[in-house]
């Protein structure tokens, strides 16, 4: 069953000179999770942060850290992010030869496991994995950079995944990341998403605007 809309601000759009304060501010403003985009300059054409930054940010919020690994090979870094304070670790099936093994590795550290589907990645990629997943993340842009426009074709993917998740009877978060605005958020939620990653839409206007930005996104 689809849950109430929750917001996971992506710190990719935060002020990197004040990351600790930014994480504390979105926590105070009503965010439900902190979304951490990890990019390696290899799997995606950008470089962001590593486990040491996640560890440094951990004391600034009690919210779950939703860590999205855009790195390959991915298995080598699962332990480091788990120990740094990630609560949910999601990865791309293209980033390793054995996605099922990666899911089990994440869970061996007591963390929730998620699969990320790029715009071109078919829904069938979750076959034989869905019963072990806690989260499915649909990329509604090509991964690597913030501020991109929402890819409309992903709405059909969200609808299909909503049906598959509901058929399991399990609580599996259906998250959407990319181009989330006040215009696209209602469409993603109508298609079945219950967790929205919002970078620019959360952080625009500075800390004094975060609470209203998050409230408006949740109101969809």
| Residues assigned a catalytic role | 37, 177
Q: What is the largest CA-CA distance in the chain?
A: 45
Q: Name the binding residues for substrate.
A: 10, 68, 144-147, 177-179, 199-200
Contact 74, 91 (CB under 8 A): yes
At CA 172, angle to CA 168 and CA 173, rounded to 5? 145
**pLDDT computed for residue 148 by the predictor:** 78
Cβ count within 10 A of residue 84: 20
Average pLDDT, rounded, for the chain = 96
Output the pLDDT for position 3: 80
> Over 90: is that where the pLDDT of 99 sits?
yes
**All structural domains of the chain:** 6-218 (3.20.20.70)
**Range with lowest mean pLDDT among 133-147, 160-174, 198-212:** 133-147
Which pLDDT tens digit goes with each residue over 180-202? 999 999 999 999 999 999 999 99
Burial readout 130-143 (b: 16 or more C-beta within 10 A, e: otherwise): bebbbbbbbbbbeb
Residue 24 burial (10 A CB sphere; 0-12, 13-18, 19+): middle
| Residue 12 near residue 195, CB atoms below 8 Å | no
Place 143 in a pLDDT band, splitting at 50, 70 and 90: confident
Q: What is the mean pLDDT of residues 152-174?
A: 97
List pLDDT tens digits, range 24-46.
999 999 999 999 999 999 999 89
**Region 128-152 average pLDDT:** 91
pTM for the structure as a whole = 0.96
Annotated binding site for a divalent metal cation: 35, 37, 68, 177
């Amino acid at each position: 069953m689809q849950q109430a809309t929750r917001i996971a601000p992506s710190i990719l759009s935060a002020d990197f000179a004040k990351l600790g304060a930014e994480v504390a501010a979105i926590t105070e403003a009503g965010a439900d999770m902190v979304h951490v985009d990890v990019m390696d300059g290899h799997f995606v054409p950008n470089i962001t942060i590593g486990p040491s930054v996640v560890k440094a940010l951990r004391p600034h919020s009690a919210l779950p850290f939703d860590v999205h690994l855009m790195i390959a090979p991915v298995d080598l870094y699962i332990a480091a992010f788990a120990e740094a304070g990630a609560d949910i670790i999601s990865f791309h099936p293209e980033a390793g030869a054995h996605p099922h093994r990666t899911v089990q590795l994440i869970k061996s550290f007591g963390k929730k496991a998620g699969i990320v589907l790029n715009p071109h990645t078919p829904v069938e990629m979750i076959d034989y994995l869905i019963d072990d997943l806690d989260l499915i993340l649909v990329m509604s842009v090509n991964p690597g950079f913030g501020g991109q426009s929402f890819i409309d074709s992903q709405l059909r993917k969200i609808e299909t995944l909503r049906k598959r998740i509901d058929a399991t009877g399990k609580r599996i978060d259906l998250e959407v990341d990319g181009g989330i605005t006040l215009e696209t958020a209602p469409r993603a939620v109508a298609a079945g998403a219950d967790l929205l990653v919002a970078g620019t839409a959360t952080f625009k206007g500075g800390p004094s605007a975060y609470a209203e930005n998050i409230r408006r996104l949740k109101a969809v």
